[in-house]
Structure 1
Amino acid sequence: MRLLLIQPREAGNNVTCVPSKPAPSRPRLKSTARDIQERLAKCEALLQEHVAVDDSSQTRSGQGGTTTSSNDIAPASSETIGESARTHADGDLWVTLNDEICKMKNLMEQDQPEVDFSEENASDDFTGYKSLRFTNCPTLDPITAFKLWQIYLERVNPLLKIIHAPTVQPLIVSTTADIESTPLDQQALVYSIFGLAVLALRSDEITNMLGAEKQRDDFLQEFLTAVSVSLAQFGSPGRYNMVVLQAQIHTSIILMGQCNKHAAWVLSGTLVRIAMSMGYHRDGTHLSLSPFETEMRRRIWWQIVFFDIKLGIDSGLTHSSVPEHFDTKSPLNLNDADLFPDATDPLVHKEGPTEMAFVIVITRVSAYLLDKKARQAMEANIFGHGGDRGSIDASLLNHNRLLVQQLDADLVDIERRFIPSAASKVHAAALGIRPHLIRRLHDMMHPMQESPDWGTDVLSPRDSLFKLILSSCENASNSYDSMDRWGFAWYIRLHFNFDILASLATFLFHSPANSLANRGWAVLESLYAKHSLLDTHRPNAAVTPSQFILKAFGERERVLAEMGEIVDVPELIATLRQMNQLHTLTPPTSTKANPWTAVEWISGDFMHDDGTQRSEGFMPQADAGKGFSE
């Protein structure tokens, strides 16, 4: 700015006016249009490079014979339709199971019109969160908080490994003193950690540690609501980070533990999208990230992949949200103590046992489950045909056989290098995965005509499926015993599928008196005892299977009586009949609570006020992927 010296005007008309000098010309600003064009040209060049790389990778995949178009195979599909809900399945296995369950419901509704099996009435209300105006955050005294943190470290963390315990522990210490001053995303993580710890507690431990005033579900409700509110308040533009992903993975697992697999599946799909927007589907080495952040992103990504695939299978859906092409490497065999946020040297596998044993095995299993052809071959073998395509494709079966052989060999190598012995509880749990898994995969690989029971108990695809469901339940019962001994029973309960239980009861109704039926009734009693399904506070998801079981046993009594055999009533049936007389097996009345309040922040408004997107794309931003656990 020019400062002009103004002199007082003299009186008279002889004053000479001197014009001021013109201001120096300013430098011409760069044209905004030209700047935009240059930026656009750079983006187009980068896009062309990306397309070229993607085309070449698809060409290589096609040459290897591993790429399958989604339109190549049109799987069967079914919809179980209720008054206000629709359950869709597009895999042959769950199409058949859903049809069997639907027929059983129709049969029971004819005999017992007062029983309502509609999805709305029978749905779990564990996730009926309160309004986001929730202000009373759960409060725990420091001693209880540290006990829950220790439970998480001993029972949960070894099976997930999505946090870096040495950097999270100071946060636990600080939040026990004043959680209100803790950043909102970190509040959400702490609440989710405490929620998972509660999920991992035994019933007697909940009473001793948290008191008898509330049940497990009450505490989980409070923690999930706190997570929801914290993340909703934190969800300002572009605020997705590693801490948010960690908290939401915990939330999805808690929903699974509450038998709300469909809510967990929807949330897991959202997590895949958020992780991809942050570039988690690309290995950190390609994004110039630090070794620490690269390794943590690998752990988080592969847990998201595993749970999305697992929940999709449980929900009867063959398509996963996980992209077909990603290059995120498997996590390394390293303890948390080997990871330092400021480290710059590349990380390598550590030979011998570490904390990562279980996760490394699960990661390899996840890689196998990603193959759609393998799952299709399994279903074809189970049903003894190729679905609508006639005979089973030999190349499909051979493809799966080679995958299983490679999986077995890789797991053996992992055990040799990283789990030479049961050095700890988590190593014992990791060593128990391969024998059960490979045995079940081999059973499903063999066509039903090659089954030892063919011609006796297995005479049709229905019988073959009955045997598979029975074996699955027996495996769940055996796995529970082992995992309970090591302190990880919660993990088996987490993956327990009540639809499988309902399916088993359906098959027992149609096959009431053969050797498979005897095995089925034995495993039912075992599962009900181990999963506390006869307790007063049991998941509502157990209502339908319980009704089916009573119907199936009534048919078994009738058939055995006609054969002149004496029928002993198991304790399971006696208890269920008593509960039925007390009307505790009737599905609860419908509630209008919105079960999605807790995740509305994630599926609702993704836009700024000016209409721009909140997500910043998959390239790392200033705050993307950075939190206290880094």
Structure 2
Amino acid sequence: MNPPAASLSILPTKGNFACIRCSERKVGCDRRNPCGACVRHNVLCVIRPPKPPRRKRGPSKEKLVLERLTRYEELLQERGIDPNQVTGSSESENHPGVNNLAECETVWRLPMQATIFKPRLVHRQSRTELVDNNLWSRVAEEIHDDEATLGDDSENGGSDGEASDADFSFVLGGKSPITAPSHPPAEIIRQLWQIFIENINPLMKVVHIPSLQIAMDKAIGNIENIPRGFEALMFAIYHIAIISLTDDECKDLMGETKTILLRRYLASTKAALSRAKFMSTASIVVLQALVIHLISIRDIYEPRALWNLTGVAIRIAEGMGMRIDGKLLGLSPFETEIRRRLWWQLKLHDSRAAELCGQAKFQDFGLNNTSPKIPANVNDADLYPSMLQPPEESTRPTEMIWCMFRTELAGFASAQIARMPKLDKAMFANHEYAALDDMKIKEVVIHELIDNLETKYLRFCDPSQPLQLMVLFGARCVANIIRFMTYHPRKWANQDEVPESEQQLVWDIVLRLLEQYNQMQSSPQLRRFAWNVPYFIQWHAIIHVLDSLRAKPLHIDAGKAWGLVNTLYETNLEMCLSTKKPMFVAIGNLCLKAFGAREAALAKENKNLSNPPQYIVRLREQRGEAKARREAAIARNKQRVSVDSEKRSTSMDADNTLLDSNQTPGNLQVEAQTQQNPAASQPANVQSSTRTGDDAFWLNDAVSGNVCACGSAEAMNLDSNDILAQDYWFDTPSGEVMDWEKWDTWLGNNDPVRPTFGS
């Protein structure tokens, strides 16, 4: 009697095929079902399924084209048209001896090969990838077929006890995650999710709330078994929701300070993204998590690092095919719309990040017939995954109004930059100020934009709705920013020669801008969106206000202007007092100069000034501490140079000793002064070097190199402590205007700042 295992079979008997086990052992199979060998060994006998017969190849493409061409010629002849006389048939006239097939190959070869490169999406088990070249288009089907056999190398693979070599945690600045980060309690998760819906989502719109709500409920109910990509999205939502809260709100909600919570959930978000293998992902959920993370770190990361990370996200999106509209790729209306939202949010974020690190913005917003279309003006409730037709767009304000408003501005800005004349002179970050020299044309363009915004959005906005009120404020700010760029003081050669009317016009514009920024951050109705305002402050306007207050301390509007500056600093105290970004340190120096000029002017008129604001006190303390650190470092350097000189003098020959004897204390003092002000030791037409310590170590001619203790080659490497300790860059002779090219360099600084002098 046959064993039970051997009596089973997967396929019906077919005598022409050997079983799999006999084929692998390379032994003869009696081709029975089950076979004798499997019965003897008491194993399951599985017969290899036959491969389907190959389809007979149809006629070649060349033959089909030739047949169609012949048919078209016959139709033309029936209507009395000679194909040989048709314009463009020079091929036949010039080469009468070539047969029709060769001629057809000459005409059609390129178009037929071009069809091989048609972009397509390959849907795998856990991802969707764009295939857009000849090599991958030929193996796309093989990849899809092999995935089921070999298994999917998804981001959910691996155990929590192992650190992946491909997690790329160093890209985000974190450590390789060994275990999953810890979620807050379920009730806290629900509250943070609701905060995200109210405070964050209206300004981003990169997720679909109704479908994500269902997924969040499932995740909360089974928190131990969440896919790693969705886990990354959850932690990104926790982190950015906490950013929108005040310190008191954080204590009431979670019992800890905002600083502690931000540090914890920033690290958790990085760990979750690394566990999800974000660098190799093709998952929309992981990309959504990364985009939210980039927006949450934009105020704390160095601008160049943020811009580079944004470039990583754009590359991931391009690999998923987001640079091509989803409709052209055959995607569903729902997925097409989500991809459009993600792509435009990324591009808008990239343009601002580029501007803040000194790069040209709005340079790659050019649209063609394959680019993703602007997101639809619809509510999330109008979208659902199973929809078969695109939603009908609303002509009234929807949840998308803020994103639609920003997209409209991006299109306007890119169109104006495209119309700019090509300038011979290299420009810095704010090259858009040079667009359209004709003031009349500029005014026409401004009115066109305002009319367009009014027609599409503003006339429908209800100020009682917070998001629509935000759009109204944003539109006013944009109008003033464009007017400021139109009359930007960078084109003033000498302030005394500028008409008083033009100076007053620019002054009124920047004061209105400051008022609008303060209102957007202080209005109780807009408090939920206040977290978004600081990143978009027009710092050129702030610089102009402070420089004008420095030049004219007793300006008729000085009291009003200082009130606005005080509110701006007090509202954004942590950011404005930050020493991590040279831009804020440089603006702080200018603010102190302006305040000092006001104190001196009032003292001359025997007027008492009330106690300085707290931020002025703190700015002065920072610079005092930095000067003390710098003096201590210079003293240590002088002592080290003196010791090195004595050692060399005892070991070198007479000639070298003579050279060393020139290192007198006076020369050492000159050296110390040179370290303090390197620009003073160079000719006027030679720009000071801006090499960092690494480049100086490689490129400096001197063997020892004058590299300071912080690792910087010179103070002009934009190190914050050097800026705090010195302010000679901001000296502007009376009657002269601000050197805006120098400020462009500060605002576009892209050197990371490192702590120096033991700080």
Question: TM-score, normalization: structure 1?
Answer: 0.63
Post-superposition shift, 1:572? 3.5
Q: Cα gap change, 1:388/1:154 in structure 2, threshold over 3 Å: closer, same or farther?
A: closer
Post-superposition shift, 1:477? 1.8
Structure 2 segments unaligned to the other structure (5+ residues): 1-16, 19-27, 31-51, 61-108, 120-170, 631-708, 712-759
Residue 45 (str. 1) matches residue 89 (str. 2) = no
SS at match of 2:295: helix
- Matched ranges for 1:615-626 at <5 A: none
2:380 to 315, 336, 345: 336
Taking the aligned partners of 2:251 and 2:349, their CA distance within structure 1 comes to 30
SS at match of 1:371: helix
1:407 to 449, 452, 455: 449
Post-superposition shift, 1:348? 1.9
Residue 421 (str. 1) matches residue 462 (str. 2) = yes
Q: Cα gap change, 1:496/1:260 in structure 2, threshold over 3 Å: closer, same or farther?
A: farther
Q: Cα gap change, 1:424/1:405 in structure 2, threshold over 3 Å: closer, same or farther?
A: same
Residue 156 (str. 1) matches residue 200 (str. 2) = yes
Question: Can you list the C-alpha shifts for 1:394-420, whole angstroms capped at 9, x where unaligned?
Answer: 46x666555433322321222268x35
Taking the aligned partners of 1:518 and 1:527, their CA distance within structure 2 comes to 14
Between the aligned residues of both structures, percent identity stands at: 23
Q: Which residue of 2 aligns with 1:481?
A: 522
1:552 to 594, 600, 603: 594
- Matched ranges for 1:269-418 at <5 A: 269-320=311-362, 322-326=364-368, 327-371=371-415, 373=417, 394=437, 400-415=442-457
Comparing 280-289 and 470-479, the one that deviates more: 470-479
Q: Cα gap change, 1:387/1:153 in structure 2, threshold over 3 Å: closer, same or farther?
A: closer
Taking the aligned partners of 2:402 and 2:585, their CA distance within structure 1 comes to 33
Post-superposition shift, 1:493? 3.0
Taking the aligned partners of 1:181 and 1:47, their CA distance within structure 2 comes to 42
SS at match of 2:337: helix
Residue 231 (str. 1) matches residue 300 (str. 2) = no
Taking the aligned partners of 1:585 and 1:209, their CA distance within structure 2 comes to 42
Q: Which residue of 2 aligns with 1:597?
A: none
Post-superposition shift, 1:141? 0.7
Question: TM-score, normalization: structure 2?
Answer: 0.53
Contact 1:334–1:349 (8 Å) recurs in 2: yes
Contact 2:480–2:513 (8 Å) recurs in 1: no
Post-superposition shift, 1:464? 9.0
Which amino acid counterpart does residue 354 of structure 1 have in structure 2? T
Question: Can you list the C-alpha shifts for 1:461-508, whole angstroms capped at 9, x where unaligned?
Answer: 999988776554443223323476452111113434778757755564
Question: Can you list the C-alpha shifts for 1:516-563, whole angstroms capped at 9, x where unaligned?
Answer: 65444222211122224499x978555554454334322332233234
1:264 to 289, 306, 312: 306
Q: Cα gap change, 1:448/1:259 in structure 2, threshold over 3 Å: closer, same or farther?
A: same
2:293 to 221, 230, 251: 251
Q: Which residue of 2 aligns with 1:64?
A: none
Taking the aligned partners of 2:395 and 2:474, their CA distance within structure 1 comes to 20
Q: Which residue of 2 aligns with 1:117?
A: none
Residue 183 (str. 1) matches residue 227 (str. 2) = yes
SS at match of 1:285: coil
Q: Which residue of 2 aligns with 1:523?
A: 564
Post-superposition shift, 1:183? 1.2
Q: Which residue of 2 aligns with 1:437?
A: 478
Greater relative contact order (Cα 8 A, min sep 6): structure 1 or 2?
A: 1
Provide the aligned length of Structure 1 versus Structure 2: 478
Taking the aligned partners of 1:208 and 1:554, their CA distance within structure 2 comes to 41
Taking the aligned partners of 2:179 and 2:192, their CA distance within structure 1 comes to 22
Taking the aligned partners of 1:235 and 1:315, their CA distance within structure 2 comes to 27
Which amino acid counterpart does residue 281 of structure 1 have in structure 2? R
Q: Cα gap change, 1:457/1:305 in structure 2, threshold over 3 Å: closer, same or farther?
A: same
Q: Cα gap change, 1:274/1:371 in structure 2, threshold over 3 Å: closer, same or farther?
A: farther
Q: Which residue of 2 aligns with 1:491?
A: 532
Which amino acid counterpart does residue 478 of structure 1 have in structure 2? Q
SS at match of 2:292: helix
Comparing 455-464 and 510-519, the one that deviates more: 455-464
Comparing 493-502 and 459-468, the one that deviates more: 459-468
Larger Rg: 2
Post-superposition shift, 1:573? 5.5
Q: Cα gap change, 1:223/1:321 in structure 2, threshold over 3 Å: closer, same or farther?
A: farther
Q: Cα gap change, 1:494/1:394 in structure 2, threshold over 3 Å: closer, same or farther?
A: closer
Taking the aligned partners of 1:564 and 1:493, their CA distance within structure 2 comes to 38
SS at match of 2:331: coil
Q: Cα gap change, 1:457/1:476 in structure 2, threshold over 3 Å: closer, same or farther?
A: farther
Residue 240 (str. 1) matches residue 309 (str. 2) = no
Which amino acid counterpart does residue 435 of structure 1 have in structure 2? R
Taking the aligned partners of 2:222 and 2:201, their CA distance within structure 1 comes to 24
Q: Which residue of 2 aligns with 1:193?
A: 237
Which amino acid counterpart does residue 156 of structure 1 have in structure 2? I
